[in-house]
Structure 1
Amino acid sequence: MTFQNDSKIKEMLNYLNKSPHDFNFNGENLISIIGKDIRIAIPSGFPRLEIAAQDFKDFLSKSGRINAFVKKITAEEKSNGFIINISDTDKNDDSYNIILQDNVLTIIGNSEMGAVQGLYYTERLLVKYNGLLPENLKIERKTSLKRRITTTAFNPPIGWPEDNAYLDGYLSRMSHFGYNGIFITDKFFTYALSEAIPELNASDRDKVIDYLNNLTEKADKYGIGLYLIPSMIISPNSSVFQNHPELKGAKFWEGSHCLCSSSPVVLQFYKEVVANLVKDVPLLKGLILIIGGECFLHCYTRAIGKEKTTSCPRCVNEDPVKLVSRQVRAVLDGASGKIDIIVWPYSAFYWYRGDNDYLDLIKALPEGIAVMESPSKDSPLTRQGVTAPAFDCDISVTGPSERFRRIAKTVKEKSFDLIAKTDSSSTIEAYSIPYIPVLGRWYERHSELAKIGIDGMLGCWHINGFTGTMSDELAYECMWSPLKDKKECLSEIAQKFFGKNSIKYCIDAWESFNKAWDYFPFSAAMTGLPYFRGPFHFGPAHPLVLDVQNESKLPGDFFHKQNVDNEFCDDEEKLKEINKTPMFFSDLIWTLPYGYISFENALLQTLKFWNEGLMHYSKAIEKADNKEIAHTEYGVADMFKCILTTAYNVLRFQKLKIKLYEGVKNPQELEKIINSFVQVAKEELENAKNAIKLANEDIRIGYGGYTYK
C-alpha cells in the first residue's frame, strides 16, 4: 500500500499512536480518597491485564503528584489503592464490576479482558468526576456484544496494510473504545495452499503468513482479534484455467473469472485453504464472507439479465441460494469451529431472486455462522415529497429498518448471531471528515440496536477508519448495559470534550444538527452514483466545470479507477481510460432523484439548521474548559458546513449553465450570467480557503475515500 502525502500520513500516524489519554483529571482529588502512593494490584499470569495496568499507571501519573505502581499479588493478599481480580467465568465475557469501599477501588472482570475493560472505564470515571469518585461507588457493566469490530484509518480497499497501520498506541486506543476486532479485506489467493488445486498455491505465502502472525500476536496484546474479508478473482490468463478449463467459473470485470461454484474440486480447495490458514495463523479470529455482490465470489455474484442467471455453463441450472450455501459450508468445514465465520449478504440483490430481505438465503445457510447486515440499508427516505431508498453506510436513516427487524427475527430463529454494521466512525454522506456530529441520531441507532439484541457490531467500513471520535464515544457507551439514557450519555460526552459549563450549548448544537439532518437530501446519486464522486466526496476541492471539453486538462487527482484491480487489466492504454473516471460532476445528475430544485430547497434548510448548530457550538467554546479540544470539534462541524456550501455553489454554477444553454436575448443578459458565474466562483474560492485552514488545524480532516489527497 502506498500512502499519498507522506507528511500528512506521518502526522496522522503520530496522532493515532499517541496515548489514548487525551483527557485528564485532578490528581489531588483522587489523593484525598486513596492517597498519594497508589498500588495497582493485579493477579499473575495475565499479560494483557499487565499491559493495561501499566497503561493505567501512566494515566494516573499524568494527573499530578500521584505515585502509582503496579504489583502482582495472589488472590489471598490484601492491598490498598486499586485491586483487579478476574472471576474467569467466561473468557468471552468482557463484563465487569467496579466497587469503591474503604478507600479501595476493586475491579472484578468476568474474564481477563473484562478486567482490562474495567480499568479503561475507571479512567473514564476519573475524568468524569475529576478524580473525586463518589463514596461507596458500585457499577456493574455487561456487554452482549461478543464481537466489536473496527479497522485502521490506513486500510487499502483490498490488500495488506503497512506495518505502521497498526502501531501499539493505535491498537490500545481501539481497545480503550471497547473494540475487540479489526478487519482487513485481503486477496484470498495470497495465502492459498491446497492439494486440490496446487496451481493456485501462493508463491509468497510464507511472507503473508508471517505478516498475519505478527499482526495477530501484536493485536492480541490488547484483546483484539483479526478478521479477514476474502476477495477472490482470477485473471483470464491464469494457468489454472488453461490446465483445468472445467474450473473456470463466471466472467467478471475486464475478463477475469471466479472459480466454478459447482465444482467439488473448488469446494475442496476452499476448505483446504481455510483449514491451512487456521492452522498456520492460530490467533486468527475469523472470516467475514461477503456473499452478495463482491469479494467472496461465486458464479452468481454478478448475475446476468432479468432472469438473474450466470455465464458459467455448469452453474446455469443451479439454485443460487443452494450454491452459495454450499460454498459457505466449505469454508465453515475448513474452519472446524476454530474461528468465527460471519456471512454478509451485501448487494445480494444482483442474484437473489426473492425480495431484498434475503430471508430464504439466511434460512439456507449452514449452522455455526453469524449474519451481518446494515440497520438502515434500503429504508425509505423522504425529502421534499420524494421517497428514495437509503442505500449504504449512512446516518440519514438511524434504523433499525423494518427490513433489518425481519432479518433479525429470522437470524434469531436460526440461532445465528446477529452482527450490525453500524458505520459509527464515519459515513458515506461526507468522506472527508472523521464523523458527522449528529449525536442524537447516533444514540438512536445504537440504543435501538441494543433493544433488538444484536450480538456484535462492525463500526466502520474502508471510508475513514477508526480515529476515536465523539460518534465512537457514543458507540462505546452503547456497547454496555445498563444503557444510559440519551441525556446522560450526551451530557457526559459534552463534559468530556468541552467541559461541564458547555453541556447545555453542546446539546443545543447537536439538536440543531439533528434538525438539519431531517432535511439532508441523501441519495445514491449525491454520494457519487454510487460512490466516490461529487461535492460530498470531494468537498471544497470539487471543481466548477463550465466547458466539459476541458475536463481532461484537470490534474490526475480529479480522476480515479473504478471497480477494477490493475493486476487484471494487461492493456496499459485501456487501464489509462479506466483510471480517467472523473470524481466530480459537471452536470446536475447528482441531485437525483429529487431534482435540482427540490435538492436546492433541502440543501438550504440543511444549511439553515447547521448554522444554528454552529452558533450554539460557539457558545460552548466560550464556556469550555479545554478550548483547544472544543475548537477542534467545532472545526469538524464547520468543515461540514464548507462541504454543504460547496454543494450549494456547484448546484448554483450548474444552474447558470442551464440558463446559458437556454439562450440569451442580448449582450446585457449574457454579461449578467457571466458575472454570476464569477460571483459563485469567488464565493467558492473563499469557502475553499476556509476549508484549507480547517484541514490544516485538524489532521483528521481531509481523509477521503481510502487515501489522503
Structure 2
Amino acid sequence: MRPFCNGDTPFMNRIIAIVFNFCIVTLVSLHGLSLPAFDRLPVGTHPLALESPHFPSRLHAFIWRNWQLVPPSKMAQLVGTETTNIERIAESMGLPQVDSVSGEMRERGYITLIRRNWHLLPYEQMLELLDMTPDELALTLREDDFLYIKLGNLKPKCEPLRYQEPDEAAVQRAAEIKQVVREHFGDLELVESEPRFRFVKTLSSTEGTTVLPDRNTVNREQPLRMVYSYFGLFGDPLIEPEIEPIPDGLLARLADKGVNGIWMHVVLRQLAPGGEAFPELGAGHEQRIQTLKKLVAQAKRYGIGIYLYINEPRAMPPAFFETRPELAGIRRGDYWTMCTSTPQVRNWMSDSLAHVFGEVPDLGGVFTITASENLTNCASKGQHHLCPHCSTRTDAEIIAEVNATIAEGVHRANPDARVIAWDWGWKGHGDAPDIISLLPKDVALMSVSEWALPIERGGVASKIGEYSMSAVGPGPRATKHWKQAQQAGLKTVAKVAVNNTWEISAVPFLPVMDLVAEHCENLSEVGVDGTMLSWTLGGYPSPNLLVSQSFSTEPGATKETVLNRIAQDRFGDDAAPLVRQAWTAFSDAFRNFPYSGAVMYKAPQQMGPANLLYADPTGYRATMVCFPYDDLNGWRSPYSTDVFASQFEMVADGWAGGIRHLEQAVQATAGVQREAAESDLSVARAAHLHFASVANQARFVLARDAALASSDDSKQKLVEQILQITENEVSLARDMFDVVSEDSRIGYEASNHYFYVPLDLVEKVINCEHVASRFSAQP
C-alpha cells in the first residue's frame, strides 16, 4: 500500500506522505493486520530520489547502471517487458552487447548492486533484482558493516519502475549519448576490459607463489601480523562455503609477505547454539562451524591463524525480550541491549565461545570491540546509567567484565588462543587507565597507533583519529595505553594501516613506502608484541606488507636498509633507485592529505572521477564512504573550502612527480619484474586520478554555487571556470576508464565491494557534457 500525494510543493508532498503512512501503519496495527514484508525495511526520512537528467529517463539510467552486472533478461522481467526491448535501449546509448553475465556480482558484489540502484528502485524491486527476501536484505543492511548507515540512514523514495516505450525525445537523447560515447571512447564493443573480480581468480591461483602448504601448526610465539582477507565477505562469511574468502593462492601470497593471522567478522548468535536459555539462537550454526573448520585447517597449512572479530552481545529486537524482560538493558532505536550485568547473558557469551573454540581448537583467537558503532553492552554507548542493572556500575567495570567473559569462554576451550581487547571507543576515544587496570592478565591490549597524533595541514591544526597513513604514529593515546598495559602485565598490539585507509580505499595499496617504513621503525622502538595491519581494507598481498615483516623479524632494521632491499628484490638493481624516488615522492605528497574524520568518510576520494557532477544542488548530505553527492561542506570539515581543494591539489601534483619516476622504473625492468612494476604503476595512476578529481569536484561546487547565486558580470567568469572544470573531469574520467578497464582491483574494497565499474566512468563523461551544456546555455 503506497501513499497518494497531491500537495502543491515537494515539502507538502513529503508532509502528506508522512502523515498518510503513519495513519496506514496505525490502522493495520489496530486491526491486527501486517504490512507487506518490504514495507518493514528501513526508510528513514524517505526523501525523493535523485534524478539523472543526463539520461532520457529513469529506465535508461537503470539499464545503463546495471549493464554487464545484471542479465538483460532479469532487467526485462523486473520492469515488465521483453529482453529485446532492454537490449535495444542499451544499443541506442552505445552500450556493448552482452552475451552472458557472471553471477559473481550477485555473490561478491551485492553491495555494489544495492548502492547503484538505491535511487532507482523501490524496495520491492530491489529484492527482486538481488534475489533476496526482506529478512535477508534487512540483515544485510544492519549487519554488513552497518551498510544502512553508509547508505545515509534513509531510502530514497522511488515509484516502481515499469517499461515504457521511449518517445521521440528519449530516442533523440539516447542517440546523443551514443555520439558522446563514440567521440570519447570509440566503439565500446572493441574495448578489451578485464572482467570485474578477475583478481579473485588471479589471487586464488598458486601459480607463481613460493610458500608451500607444509605447516602443521600456527606459531603463537611469533609477533602477530594480522590482516583481513582482500576479498572476504563481511556480513555472514561462513554460510556460503562455495565462496572462498581465503583460497590457497591468497594464503600463500600473504604468508610470503609475513602475514600469520587473518581475521573475519562473525555474529555469535549465528555461530553457536543458544542452549536452554536462548533456544531461538544458533540457526545454521552447524554449517558455519563446518565452514570455519575448513578455513582454519586450510590457513594453518600456511602458518596462518584465523581470528574472530567479536563485537558482542549484539542488540536484539523487543520480541526477544517478551518472555525475558529482566535481561533487557538500554534501548537505542528499535533494539535493546542484552545486559551483560546479568549472569544469563554472560554465561551465554562464554559458553558460546567455549563451544566454538572447542569445535575448532586450531582457531588463532579473537579480538574484541566493546564500544563500537554497534549497540552491544550497556556501556558501549556511554548510557549504562539508564539500565536498571548497570546504573550503579562504572563503564570500566562493565567493559572489563565483557572482555573477561569473552576471554574465559575462549580459554576454557583453548588456553593458548590469543584474546585481544581493542580500546576502540573507550571513554569516547579518551584515556582509559581504569579499564586497562581491570582487564584479565590473559588478554592483550590493542590500540590504534596513530590516535591523537597532532598534525597541521594547510594551516589547520588538528589531531589524527585513526585510519591514517599520511601521518606517522604512534600517537600519545596509544603509547600511554601500551605503557599502562605493560605495567599491568599485559601484552600489547598496535592497530596500524600499511596498505591503505579510508584516506583512499579504492586502490589495493598506496605506494607510500617511506611513510610505512617510518611507522614500522617507530613501533619497533616502542616494543609492541604484535600488529593488526588492516581493517576490512588493506588485505592485499602488496610489497607494503614486506616492510612490516622486516621490522618485525630483523633486529636493527632501518628504513633505508629495508626499503632499498625491497626495491632491489622487486624491481632489480637498475630500477631500484627510480622506485625509491617514486616512493619518496608519493610519501611526501601524501603528507599533505587534508586528514579529518569528515574528509575520510564523506569526501569523494573513494569514488574519484566516478562521482557525478550536479548542475543543481542535490540537498543530500554525504554518507560514510558511500555517496559523496555534492556536499562540499560535509566533505571538508574542519578545512575551508579553498584549503580543502588546495591540499588535494598539492597531493595530486606531488603524486604526479612520483608517477614519472615509476614510469621510468618500468622501462628499466623486464620479465616478472616488469609485471610487478606495471602493476604498481596502475595502482599509483588510479590514486593520482582520484586525488586530482576530488580537487576538481570541490572547485566545481564552489563555482556552481557562486554562479547560481550571481546575476552580475562575474557570472560569465564563473561559467567559464565551470566549463574548464568539466573538461578536466572528462579527461580524468577517460584516463580512469583506461586504468580500471585493465585492472579489476581498482575501485574495489572488501566491505563496500565495487565503488564503481568502467561504465560509470563513461557515464561521468556523459554527465559532464550535460552539465557543461546546461551552463553554456545560460545567459
> What is the TM-score of this pair, normalised by structure 2?
0.67
Are the counterparts in 2 of residues 534 and 585 from structure 1 also a CA contact under 8 Å? no
Contact 1:525 1:590 in 2 (8 A): yes
Q: 1:403 aligns with which of 472, 477, 482?
A: 477
The separation in 2 between residues aligned to 1:182 and 1:230, in whole angstroms, is: 14
CA distance in 1: counterparts of 2:355 and 2:556, whole angstroms: 42
1:74-473 correspondence runs (5 A): 92-93=220-221, 145=223, 147-160=224-237, 162=240, 163-195=243-275, 197-231=277-311, 232-239=313-320, 241-252=321-332, 254-294=333-373, 297-304=376-383, 309-335=384-410, 336=412, 337-350=415-428, 356-463=430-537, 465-473=538-546
Amino acid at match of 2:555: P
| Residues 483-562 of structure 1 mapped to structure 2, 5 A cutoff | 483-528=556-601, 533-549=602-618
Instruction: Evaluate the alpha carbon distance shift between residue 196 and residue 455 of structure 1 in structure 2; reply closer, same or farther with a 3 A threshold.
Output: farther
CA shift at 1:229, angstroms? 1.0
Cα contact 1:588–1:651 (8 A) shared by 2: no
Note the alpha carbon deviations across 1:474-517, whole angstroms, 9 max, x for none: 12222212243222221222223322111211111222222212
Q: In structure 2, what residue type is equivalent to 1:592?
A: S
Q: Alpha carbons of 1:226 and 1:628: their partners in 2 closer, same or farther (altered >3 Å)?
A: closer
Question: Is the CA contact (8 Å cut-off) linking 1:292 and 1:344 kept in structure 2?
Answer: no
When residues 520 and 550 of structure 1 are mapped into structure 2, their CA distance, relative to the original with a 3 A threshold, is closer
How far apart in 1 are the matches of 2:212 and 2:699? 59
CA contact (8 A) 1:230 1:295 kept: no
1:15 aligned onto 2:202: yes
Structure 2: distance between partners of 1:363 and 1:196: 34
- Corresponding letter in the other structure for 2:204: N
1:621 aligns with 2:694: no
- 1:577 is matched with none
Q: 2:547 aligns with which of 461, 464, 474?
A: 474
1:557-636 map, 5 Å: 582-625=627-670, 626-636=673-683
Distance, in Å, in 1 between the alignment partners of 2:610 and 2:382 is: 37
Whole-angstrom distance in 2 between the partners of 1:213 and 1:293: 28
> SS of the counterpart of 2:600?
coil
How many correspondences in the alignment?
A: 558
Tell me which residue corresponds to 1:56: none
Q: Give yes or no for contact 2:213–2:252 (8 Å, CA) kept in 1.
A: no
Partner Cα distance (2:227, 2:365) in 1: 13
Structure 1 residues 618 and 154: alpha-carbon distance in aligned structure 2, compared to 1, 3 A threshold: closer
Distance 1:675 1:617, change over 3 A: same
Q: Does 1:653 align with 2:734?
A: no
Which amino acid counterpart does residue 11 of structure 1 have in structure 2? R
Q: Which amino acid aligns with 1:700?
A: R
The one-letter code matched in structure 1 to 2:609 is P
Alpha-carbon shift at residue 159 of structure 1 (Å)? 2.3
Give 3-state SS (helix, strand or coil) of 2:213's partner. helix
Specify which of 722, 738, 753 is matched with residue 707 of structure 1. 753
Equivalent-residue separation in structure 2 for 1:675 and 1:265 (angstroms)? 68
The residue that corresponds to 2:59 in the other structure is none
What is the CA distance between 1:551 and its match in structure 2?
6.9
Deviates more, 1:195-204 or 1:478-487: 195-204
CA distance in 1, matches of 2:691, 2:197: 29
AA at the equivalent of 2:615:
L
Corresponding position of 1:693: 738
Structure 2 alignment gaps of length 5 or more = 1-105, 114-193, 757-779
Cα distance in 2, alignment partners of residues 9 and 282 from structure 1 = 36
- Paired with 1:170 and 1:293, the residues of 2 have a C-alpha distance of 29
**Corresponding residue for 1:569?**
none
Secondary structure in 1 matching 2:263:
strand
- Work out the CA distance in 2 between the residues paired with 1:413 and 1:173: 37
Root-mean-square deviation (CA), in Å? Answer: 2.7
Letter in 2 for 1:275: A
CA distance in 2: counterparts of 1:244 and 1:3, whole angstroms: 38
Assess, with a 3 A threshold, how the Cα gap between structure 1 residues 92 and 644 changes in structure 2: closer, same or farther: closer
Residue identity opposite 2:382 in structure 1: A
TM-score scaled by length of structure 1: 0.74
Query: Secondary structure of 2:553's match?
Result: coil
Equivalent pair of 2:206/2:248 in contact (CA under 8 Å): no
Shift of 1:412: 1.0
Q: Is the 8 A contact 2:315 2:375 kept in 1?
A: no
Matching residue's letter, 2:704: K
Over 3 Å counting, the alpha-carbon distance change for 1:91 and 1:344 in structure 2 is closer
Q: Name the residue aligned to 2:776.
A: none
Say which SS state the counterpart of residue 330 (structure 1) adopts. Answer: helix
> Over residues 202-223 of structure 1, what are the superposed CA-to-partner deviations in whole Å (9 max), with x where a residue is unaligned?
1222112111111111111112
Deviation string 1:668-707 (CA, Å, 9 cap, x unpaired) is: x434323322221121011011112112222321114531
Query: Given that residues 248 and 298 in structure 2 are in contact (C-alpha distance below 8 angstroms), is that contact kept between their aligned partners in structure 1?
Result: yes
User: SS in structure 2 opposite 1:500?
Assistant: coil
1:566-621 CA distance string (max 9 Å, x none): xxxxxxxxxxxxxxx83433333312212112223323322332222222222222
Corresponding residue for 1:83?
none
Residue equivalent to 2:724:
679
CA contact (8 A) 2:382 2:395 kept: no
Matched residue type, 2:309: I
Aligned mate of 1:2, from 107, 111, 132: 107
Amino acid at match of 1:391: G
1:527-561, CA deviations, whole angstroms, 9 ceiling, x for partnerless residues?
12xxxx33112111111123134979xxxxxx98x
**Is residue 395–residue 441 contact of structure 1 (8 Å, CA) maintained in 2?**
yes
Contact preservation (8 Å) 1:175, 1:223: yes
SS of 1:387's equivalent in the other structure is strand
Q: Does structure 1 conserve the Cα–Cα contact (< 8 Å) formed by 2:212 and 2:302?
A: no
Q: CA, structure 1 residues 372+158, in 2 after alignment: closer, same or farther (shift >3 Å)?
A: farther
Contact 2:450-2:475 at 8 Å conserved across structures: yes
Q: Secondary structure at the match of 1:164?
A: coil
Give aligned-pair identity as a percent. 22
The amino acid that maps onto 2:711 is V
Q: Whole-Å Cα distance in 2 between the matches of residues 398 and 654 of structure 1?
A: 32
2:308 aligned counterpart, secondary structure: strand
Equivalent in 653, 664, 688 of residue 711 of structure 2: 664
**Deviation larger for 387-396 or 226-235:** 226-235
Per the alignment, residue 686 of structure 2 pairs with 639
* Aligned counterparts of 2:665 and 2:582: Cα–Cα separation in 1: 9
Unaligned runs of 5+ in 1: 24-48, 54-85, 94-143, 553-558, 564-580
Structure 1 residue 370, shift from structure 2 partner: 0.8
